[in-house]
Amino acid sequence: MYISRHMTPAPLTVEPDILISEAREILRSNHFRHLPVIDKDWRLVGVVTDRDIRSAYPSSVLSGEDRRHELEKVSKTPVSEIMSTDLVSLLPHSTIDDALLLMEKKKVGAIPVLDEKGVILGIFSMRDLIRAYKRIFGLAEKGSSLVTVRDDGKPNVLARAVKLLEQNGIPFTRLSRSKLTEDEKSPVIVYIRVETYNISAVHSILVSAGFELVDPEPLLPENRH
């Protein structure tokens, strides 16, 4: 689950003196949204995004002459004038969980991956994050299903579930348990991601071993959107 295994390595980069119009064309032709800006030593100094570039161009409501003047001004402006310099970054040994939390906190769609000297090694985007979780948890695999059982409160519930699955040759990619709610009214659930088409057999094995299956809770009318 380390970033180095899931990032886009050796990303396309630009230097600070590249013009905004050139950066826009690079983003457009490569279908990117983020472009790292580096110095001569490959150290990250900024990031220019498609939003930065859109904001730099004049509004379509400007009159012809004013708009031409602003377009001419933008055509001579380097990305160093508009790039973001208040940056967040990840290290190669950061985890994809670290990336998820950082993306949520900073409201960014991609994060540069740097070595300890600030040299860019890769970039990790929301698209990379989704692909990583799909790969790790087998979400895109045929036969992948989620099974939910109630935590019976007895010791070693996860260990017992793992042993049962392995003894019966049931492949699985994830095993997790929900936290106890503050009111302690909601049951603690064990989530099992299995990879098999014979899901009914999995249910039978779990029930025979004393586990209680839990169906997904129906969405209440007032919570539907």
Q: Does domain 144-223 have CATH number 3.30.70.260?
A: yes
pLDDT at 125: 95
As a whole number, the mean pLDDT across the chain is 88
The arithmetic mean of pLDDT across residues 15-41, rounded, is 95
So what's the pLDDT on residue 168? 96
Q: Is residue 185 very low, low, confident or very high in pLDDT (cuts 50, 70, 90)?
A: low
- Cα–Cα distance between 15 and 41 in angstroms, integer? 10
10: left (phi > 0), else alpha (psi -120 to 50), else beta? Answer: left
Taking CA atoms, 135 is separated from 99, 132, 170, 174, 218, in Å, by 16, 5, 18, 12, 29
Is the confidence at residue 58, as pLDDT, over 90? Answer: no
Q: Would you kindly state where each structural domain of the chain is located, as residue ranges?
A: 3-134, 144-223
Which pLDDT value is given to residue 219? 44
Phi, psi of 91 (to 5 degrees): -100, 160
3-134 belongs to CATH 3.10.580.10: yes
Looking from the CA of 174 toward its CB, the CA atoms found within 13 Å total 19
Q: Do domains 3-134 and 144-223 have the same CATH topology?
A: no
Reported as a pLDDT band with limits 50, 70 and 90, residue 140 is low
